[in-house]
Amino acid sequence: MERFLDYFTRGTEQTVTGQMIGIEIETDFFLKQTHQPIPVEATKNILLDNTNEPKDITVKLELAQQKIEINVAPKSSFTKAIKSALQGLKWLYGIAEKYGASPRFEPEVIWPDHLLWIQEERDKLWVEIDGRLPLEHLCRCSSVQFTIDVNPLEAIPIINELHKAKLHRLDYAANDRLWKRYIQESKAKYDPERYGGPSHFNGIEDYVKKLTKHPVMMHNGHPTKLNPLEVSNLDINLYLRSVWWHYRLRRYGNSLCVEIRPFSRRKDFDLYQKPRIIKNLLGI
């Protein structure tokens, strides 16, 4: 347990809450002519085309053949982060248009055929762990995530406040339904609380205690089911990515961050409204 406490708190003491903000935005792309999810060839072309790509974003596939994510490098304010996000999205839409594709601004994709497209070794392991059909549910929902610097002393009160405000109830119904189906149908037999997470913590020790009750699902390139407190060389960062709480702590260098995950992907102008909700709630 001490190892996890140190991971979150040792060396991160100087983190200033709200000092830096990053954004991840998932977007589904459909063919303009047929209104169908773009095929893998179109997705490959979009991902490989870096013509005039903005320097402060990265682009990657997000599990499904039609779902592309942009990751905005951390900025010193919501205003700057949103500006970069919109510039990155505009660029991405322009690239997609070259290949007959356009963005679809709804959080849920209704489609009868398979959409899962595995391109990473890590995702191949998730197919072994979960089965292909449960993962198909995650191919059909898109979201927006904010990653915000948070001081270790303020981290748990902030997470508790986020739960109390029920941000995950504002506009996350479609995503929530599909995530719960994934958890229920996975052959891994997850504890239901591995998704969403507890609604309250009594400090960082309680956070770590509740976090580490969930087993490690992959280790050293193999599917596993290990107690995280008993794995000496555990990749903690990878483990944290596999516990899908709505509001979770992550560490980047010497900065502690809180990820605010449960926002559905809507039209781009909605990106202005979501930060207002967070800023008003957290006073940053």
pLDDT band at 282 (very low <50, low <70, confident <90, very high): confident
Look up residue 110 and give its two tokens. 């209704």
Look up residue 237 and give its two tokens. 């960062």
Helix (H, G, I), strand (E, B) or coil at 196: strand
157 beta partners: none
Average pLDDT over residues 214-220: 96
Rounded CA gap, 179 and 195, in Å?
A: 8
68 beta partners: 27, 61
Phi-psi region of 133 (alpha: psi -120 to 50; beta: other; left: phi over 0): alpha
Q: 10 Å Cβ neighbour count for 151? A: 17
Do 263 and 144 form a contact (C-beta atoms < 8 A)? yes
- The helices-and-strands tally (H runs, E runs) of the chain is 10, 11
Share of the chain above pLDDT 70, in %: 100
Look up residue 217 and give its two tokens. 């699902």
Burial (CB < 10 A; 0-12, 13-18, 19+), residue 56, is middle
Q: Is the pTM of this model over 0.85?
A: yes
Do 181 and 192 form a contact (C-beta atoms < 8 A)? no
Over 90: is that where the pLDDT of 71 sits? yes
Do 76 and 20 form a contact (C-beta atoms < 8 A)? yes
Residue range 128-160, pLDDT digits in tens: 999 999 999 999 999 999 999 999 999 999 999
Which amino acid would we find at residue 175?
N
Backbone angles phi, psi at 133, to 5 degrees: -65, -45
* 2-276 classified as CATH 3.40.50.720: no
Q: 10 Å Cβ neighbour count for 16? A: 12
Average pLDDT over residues 27-51: 96
Q: What is the DSSP letter of 258?
A: E
Non-local (6+) Cβ contacts of 119 within 8 A are 61
Look up residue 246 and give its two tokens. 């709505």
At 126 the pLDDT is: 96
Which amino acid would we find at residue 274?
K
Average pLDDT over residues 31-60: 96
At 47 the pLDDT is: 97
